[in-house]
Amino acid sequence: MMRSMFSAVSALSAHQMKMDIIGNNIANVNTVAFKGSRVTFKETFNQTIKGASGSGSGRGGTNPMQVGLGVDVGAVDVIHRRGTPERTDNPTDLMINGEGFFMVSDDSNYLNRYYTRAGNFVVDDYGNLVTQDGMKVLGYMADETGRLKSSIEGIKIDKSTVYPPQATKPSDPPIPGEEIVTFTGNLDSDTKQLNKLKKNDSDPDPKVIGATGEYAIYNLDTERSAAAKHPVYSQINKDLSGALAKETTVEVYDDFGNVHEIKMLFTKRKVADGAAGKESEWQVDAFYLDENGAMLQNGTSNDYDTATGLPKTAASTMKGYNGFAYGKKGEDAAQSFTLKFDENGKVIGDTKMSFRIGTDLTKGAGALDFEMDLEKLTQFQDDSNADPTYVKGYKQGALSEYAINENGEITGVFSNGKRRVLGRIAIANFKNPAGLQKTQSNMYVETRNSGKGVPGKPGTNGFAQLNPGNLEMANVDLGREFTQMITTQRGFQANSKVITTTDEMLQELVNLKR
């Protein structure tokens, strides 16, 4: 009779354990990435009253007679079913879209690792990506070129990160066919011809720039130049402005990332007979716009005569020159560059202008030598829209914002418009995730039965992708938990009744003596 009482007592203890698990599941129903647990029971010992017997001559076999001695908790399993996503749009909120765990550490050498599914990360004052408890999130950091390192370390999103400048010049070693500055667009074929805007046929062809006469499109104002101590050009000569089809500005960069502005002028000079028919000749000129507002001509620098404000130096060649110069590919610095079109509106002849911005203008950086390619320009009866559509190079940029994509890459957006990979978050897979041991704050640690965590990159080699801007909710099913709560209560209540009934039977047994 005592066996029934002790069996019921063991059942009360087991059901109390199950109620504890149910209570914890319901308590964490809104905990980020919480994994609910379940309890399964098992029988304990059985007392054998009579053993089994085999069949014999004339008699059949008999089954064993056993009395159970109660119940015990067989297992408390963590259910690693993925929870539903909750959209937050926070850039550092991450969800693993499948199996795996984030790796975090509180060790400076990143050897003491914990594992979590909770991706509600933040960035601390040093730029470290950390959990709410300050543990560093582990992954692969990138070098200055955006190439990921092989070692796992703490992810850092440092606002002081910069994108180094790139100069507008050919690569070293040279890359065949590399574009440096490329113009595209059209020059209006209806533009007036400069040679027809002269006062009479005896006048020499006027220059677009570089002259002080009335036929210059930009006239040099000597009085203002002397006062400003640099060349100052007046407004466009109205008599010749009809020949100017397009005026645009190109920004190029030296080795320090300094921006240099060059104003380009496209002027239709004349139409004449050529080897293959009518040829249209255009004059392409350039000004260098310095920080003082000066418009430097071809072959001038920022070394001025203090009395007149005019440049002291001039260059006939670009090689070794410290000011501003341009011309045909080679070393000669011409007053202007001639661009020709055939009668079909296609460019013929030389199409590449060579430029030099010397050390007088680069503020400590080396001289900048590069080419502009005009081959893609056309000449048709349409608006003039010739513009630089590609310019190699950029200034230095500071990190302005960042984003984490599905494969865990952290991409930085810099103030110069460039993007670069800053790092990549790592995740770890286990052969037996249920073998992990829970610690505090949604953390797990390895056990002998979980196996070693295998780190990898999200979205590669079988590792799950991330879901940025989302958090994983708890996988607790409240309907199931309430049902389990009811059955657990009934089990506890029934076993309590067994104890009271057994007590009454014992009381009756005692009363037999009376």
Report pLDDT for 214.
Answer: 43
- Lookup: tokens for 36: 């609910």
Contacts of 139 (CB under 8 A, 6+ apart): 103, 152, 153, 155, 408, 423, 424, 425, 426
- Enumerate the β-bridge partners of residue 220: 233
* 181-391, CATH topology level: Tick-borne Encephalitis virus Glycoprotein; domain 1 (2.60.98)
Domain definitions of the chain by residue range = 2-49+64-80+475-511, 85-164+398-472, 181-391
Supply 498's token pair: 């067994």
Let me know: does 156 contact 141? Beta carbons within 8 Å.
yes
**pLDDT digit of tens for each residue in the chain (514 aa)?**
577 777 888 888 999 999 999 999 999 999 999 999 999 998 888 788 888 888 887 888 888 888 888 888 999 999 999 999 999 999 999 999 999 999 999 998 998 999 999 999 999 999 999 999 999 999 999 998 899 999 999 999 988 899 999 999 999 888 998 999 999 999 999 999 887 776 555 555 555 554 434 456 776 667 766 766 656 666 667 777 788 899 999 999 999 999 999 999 998 988 888 776 889 999 898 888 877 667 777 776 555 555 555 555 554 455 666 778 888 765 556 567 889 999 999 999 889 999 989 888 888 899 999 999 999 999 999 999 999 999 999 999 999 999 999 999 999 999 999 999 999 999 999 999 999 999 988 999 999 999 999 999 999 999 999 999 999 999 999 999 999 999 999 999 998 888 888 878 888 787 887 6
Residue 503 and residue 2: Cα distance in Å, rounded? 9
Residue 250 structure tokens: 């190109």
Count of H-run helices and E-run strands, the chain: 3, 33
Helices 478-511 and 2-27 meet at what angle, rounded to 10? Answer: 160
Residue 78, strand partner residues: 37
What pLDDT score was predicted for residue 209? Answer: 52
290 touches 301 (CB < 8 A)? no
- Kindly report, residue by residue over 444-496, the tens digit of the pLDDT: 999 999 999 999 999 999 999 999 999 999 999 999 999 999 999 999 999 88
32 contacts 471 by C-beta, under 8 angstroms: yes
Spacing of C-alpha 420 from chain mean position: 6
What local confidence, expressed as pLDDT, does residue 224 receive?
66
In the chain the first and final C-alpha atoms are separated, in Å, by: 20
What is residue 331's predicted lDDT score, i.e. its pLDDT?
54
